[in-house]
Amino acid sequence: MSNSNRTDMGAGGRKDNGMLRVEGVTKSFETGPTTLDVLRGVDLEITRSEILAIVGPSGVGKSTLLHIMGTLDRPTAGRVTIDGTDVFALPDDAMAAFRNRTVGFVFQFHHLLRELTALENVMMPCLIAGASGQDATRSAREMLDRVGLAARASHKPGELSGGEEQRVAVARALVNGPSVIMADEPSGNLDRASARDLHDLIWGLRESLGLTFVIVTHNPELYERADRVVTLREGRAVKPDAAGTG
């Protein structure tokens, strides 16, 4: 595992810790007469350009936490700050716009639109953000080239391998120039060779673009490469030296 104590520097050489902060986040669900407490006060600080892996048993709340950090779900209580913005203090429409330009998502299942080409799938976040068709096309082609799929731009998902589909999903996550990528089991549906290629791509993107990655995974080949591993246990983030990878 690489050194998790590295110092990241922001623009102009400024020390820039804490690009993403999670403070006292809880999440509860009402299940009939009872309340299920999934997250019970999670605190995390993630530095710029860090690759953080979140691990723990199935059902412990890893994906719930990831969705809250990415503003896809609201916490019951607590605060999430990204690039200095208290995201849940924003009105819904402003939060959606912030998410579109600041956070990219990669899921285990690619969620590509089957009737669209790879290029058209990657263009979608740009179009949602209000970009022109010309600008969206240019940005999407650049991202497909960056993930090694420039030659597959006109192919639909059914004409791509699983690894290629996931690379299209990564390109889509990148296309609006986000600060952080939230990845939920990104290699969980891939064969071993494709998974390794995807992991190499993630590390290459961190180096070339300075991206921050927060990755939920059960894959030891992925979490052992991360800068830092956090284990969720009983609704809380446990320090690595006290938890292992469970």
Q: Which residues contact 155 (CB under 8 A, 6 or more apart)?
A: 117, 118
pTM assigned to the model:
0.84
CATH of 13-239 given 3.40.605.10, 3.40.630.30, 3.40.50.300, 3.30.70.20: 3.40.50.300
Q: H-type helices in 36-117, by residue range?
A: 62-69, 92-102
pLDDT per residue as tens, the chain (246 positions): 333 333 333 333 333 455 899 999 999 988 778 888 889 889 999 999 999 999 988 888 899 999 999 999 999 999 999 988 999 999 999 999 899 889 999 987 778 889 999 999 999 999 988 899 999 999 999 999 999 999 999 999 999 998 999 999 999 999 999 999 999 998 888 889 999 999 999 999 999 998 999 999 998 889 999 999 999 888 888 865 444 444
**In the sheet where 77-82 sits, what is the strand order?**
34-46, 20-31, 77-82, 85-86
Instruction: Provide the residue ranges of all domains of the chain, joining segments of one domain with +.
Output: 13-239
d(CA 51, CA 47): 9
